[in-house]
Amino acid sequence: MHFFIMHTILITGGAGFIGSHLTRLFVTKYPHYKIVNLDALTYAGNLANLKDIESASNYHFIKGDITDTELLQQLFTQHRFTAVLHCAAESHVDRSITDPLAFVRTNVVGTSSLLLAAREFWKADFTDKLFYHISTDEVYGSLGETGYFYETTPYDPRSPYSASKASSDHFVRAFYHTYGLPVKISNCSNNYGPFHFPEKLIPLSINNIIHNKPLPIYGKGENIRDWLYVEDHARAIDVIFHNGKIGETYNIGGHNEWKNIDLIKELCKQMDSKLNRAPGTSEKLISFVKDRAGHDMRYAIDASKLKTELGWEPSLQFEEGLSKTIDWYLNNKEWLNNVVSGNYAKYYEDQYVKR
Ligand code: NAD
Ligand code: TYD
């Protein structure tokens, strides 16, 4: 992959959280690339996430589903893509517990449909083509108090979400080994930052603190996640896209482990200060609720391959990234209010009030 190639890139799921940051980075950093964003605009997809680049001349949006094989064939024929950056997915563990088939459909069938379309269109000549699959560290399972996930760690998914992502990773590798399709995979830890849908821990808690609502902590709050600022993830994908090796997997992580309860306390402290509330006010909202079924205990990524081979490192300390994130939500209350209107209220009721 070289910088002088005039790529036409199909980004899937570009209207979602990570996809929108990635689309923005590629549209602005590579004006000579043509970017086509294919997104079904599910509850998680929102064109407001891309408002600042929607009229860029190298950007084009198409509303459509990655399981629609006829549409994929038509798009490959029309745009002659040279690369796919595959972000579209069902991404929330709690939703996968209530509706696992939706995850099989998009993550397994959708990914396989995209792989087939790319193979069909590129099979005469794979030179300078790339299918880049964006995946998660959750495929590796759950860690105890020590140890890390390496690229060589055996897959051990334990939620319907991670099982569907693991399956999609296996299909990507199967297409590499069986058909020679040029692929890359990255598995990243938990992201946070602007445009994060408020069903996930950090934006949900920011929204609840703003509205003085209880902060639901599953179990005892002792589960550990490794958090990475979303723009650092997008930067890592950029580096791997251009300089990573075909057929390889790269782990991406922040070396930044937080127990959920400690993270929420840090969030409460920062929000009290930004909202001019007395110290300790937001912490009183913490409410321990029934644990998530099959709740993975700890995730921790070893990202040294990415650092040693491609020179990538996270740029932000967590406290700083969290502060930037809170500021963004406080300055974008209209975005927040729009996404929590409509179906969100029903989701919240089912997930937190009726359980
Ligand atoms: P998201 O839920 O915010 O966005 C997903 C996007 O995909 C939405 O825009 C949605 O409309 C679109 N989409 C869903 N189903 C579709 C379909 N059938 N056809 C077309 N578009 C569809 O997800 P995210 O958090 O941005 O995650 C993006 C990718 O990164 C996923 O593959 C996820 O597994 C992976 N990932 C996420 C995290 C994280 O912390 N959020 C961490 C590591 C990896
Ligand atoms: P989440 O943001 O859903 O990401 P993931 O499950 O993919 O790691 O959850 C992060 C952690 O926070 C996870 O351990 C579950 C926990 N959690 C809560 O305690 N309360 C909540 O309301 C949510 C959404 C998550």
Q: What is the pLDDT of residue 6?
A: 86
Closest CA to 207 of 112, 339, 295: 339
**Total count of domains within the chain:** 1
Counting from 1 in the atom list of ligand 1, the atom nearest the Cα of 192 is: 40
- Has residue 342 got a pLDDT over 90? no
Counting from 1 in the atom list of ligand 1, the atom nearest the Cα of 66 is: 19
Residue located nearest, by CA, to atom 23 of ligand 2 = 201
> In degrees to the nearest 10, what's the CA dihedral of 168, 172, 177, 180?
160
Closest CA to 292 of 47, 51, 73, 98: 98
Tell me the pLDDT band of 153, cut-offs 50, 70 and 90.
Answer: very high
**201 C-alpha to center of ligand 2: Å?**
5
Is 262 part of any domain? no
**9 C-alpha to center of ligand 2: Å?**
32
> In degrees to the nearest 10, what's the CA dihedral of 34, 192, 232, 295?
-110
Is 286 part of any domain? no
| DSSP letter for each residue of 130-192 | EEEEEEEGGGG--B-SS--B-TTSPP---SHHHHHHHHHHHHHHHHHHHH---EEEEEE-EEE
| Contacts with 330 (C-beta within 8 Å, 6 or more apart), sequence order | 210, 274, 275
Residue located nearest, by CA, to atom 6 of ligand 2 = 93
Length of the chain: 355
Which segment of 19-28, 67-76, 139-148, 341-350 scores lowest on mean pLDDT?
341-350
The identity of residue 231, as a single letter, is: E
Dihedral-angle region of residue 147 (phi above 0 means left; psi in -120 to 50 means alpha; beta otherwise) = left
Q: Name residues contacting ligand 1 (CB within 6 A).
A: 12-13, 15-19, 39-42, 44-45, 65-67, 87-91, 106, 110, 134, 136, 165, 188, 190-191, 197
What tokens appear for 22 in the block? 């990635």
Mean pLDDT confidence for 92-116: 98
Is 310 part of any domain? yes
Q: What is the pLDDT of residue 345?
A: 87
Q: How far apart are CA 47 and CA 39, in angstroms?
A: 9
Ligand 1 test: best mutation among 11, 12, 17, most atoms within 8 Å of CB? 17
| Domain span holding position 140 | 8-192+228-254+301-316+344-353
123-148 tens-digit pLDDT: 999 999 999 999 999 999 999 999 99
> In degrees to the nearest 10, what's the CA dihedral of 300, 302, 303, 305?
-160
| Contacts with 80 (C-beta within 8 Å, 6 or more apart), sequence order | 8, 121
Give the closest ligand to the alpha carbon of residue 90. Answer: 1
Counting from 1 in the atom list of ligand 1, the atom nearest the Cα of 191 is: 40
What tokens appear for 1 in the block? 């992959």
**19 C-alpha to center of ligand 1: Å?**
7
The catalytic residue positions are: 137-138, 161
Q: How far apart are CA 48 and CA 75, in angstroms?
A: 24
156-215 tens-digit pLDDT: 999 999 999 999 999 999 999 999 999 999 999 999 999 999 999 999 999 999 999 999
Is 337 part of any domain? no
Counting from 1 in the atom list of ligand 2, the atom nearest the Cα of 159 is: 6
Q: How far apart are CA 193 and CA 33, in angstroms?
A: 26
**198 C-alpha to center of ligand 1: Å?**
14
20-64 tens-digit pLDDT: 999 999 999 999 999 999 999 999 999 999 999 999 999 999 999
Is 339 part of any domain? no
What tokens appear for 272 in the block? 């009290």
**217 C-alpha to center of ligand 2: Å?**
8
Is 333 part of any domain? no
1-28 tens-digit pLDDT: 555 678 999 999 999 999 999 999 999 9
**143 C-alpha to center of ligand 2: Å?**
16
Q: How far apart are CA 119 and CA 175, in angstroms?
A: 8
Q: Name residues contacting ligand 2 (CB within 6 A).
A: 93, 190, 200-201, 204, 216-218, 223, 225, 260, 292
Ligand 1 test: best mutation among 61, 69, 91, 161, most atoms within 8 Å of CB? 91
- Has residue 226 got a pLDDT over 60? yes
User: Between 333-340 and 201-210, two packed helices, what is the crossing angle to 10 degrees?
Assistant: 100
Q: How far apart are CA 83 and CA 242, in angstroms?
A: 11
285-335 tens-digit pLDDT: 999 999 999 999 999 999 999 999 999 999 999 999 999 999 999 999 999
| Contacts with 54 (C-beta within 8 Å, 6 or more apart), sequence order | 47, 61
CATH number at residue 135: 3.40.50.720
Q: What is the pLDDT of residue 4?
A: 61
Q: What is the pTM of this model?
A: 0.98
241-294 tens-digit pLDDT: 999 999 999 999 999 999 999 999 999 999 999 999 999 999 999 999 999 999
Give the closest ligand to the alpha carbon of residue 290. Answer: 2
Is 275 part of any domain? no
Q: How far apart are CA 224 and CA 237, in angstroms?
A: 24
Is 160 part of any domain? yes
**26 C-alpha to center of ligand 1: Å?**
17
Give the closest ligand to the alpha carbon of residue 351. Answer: 2
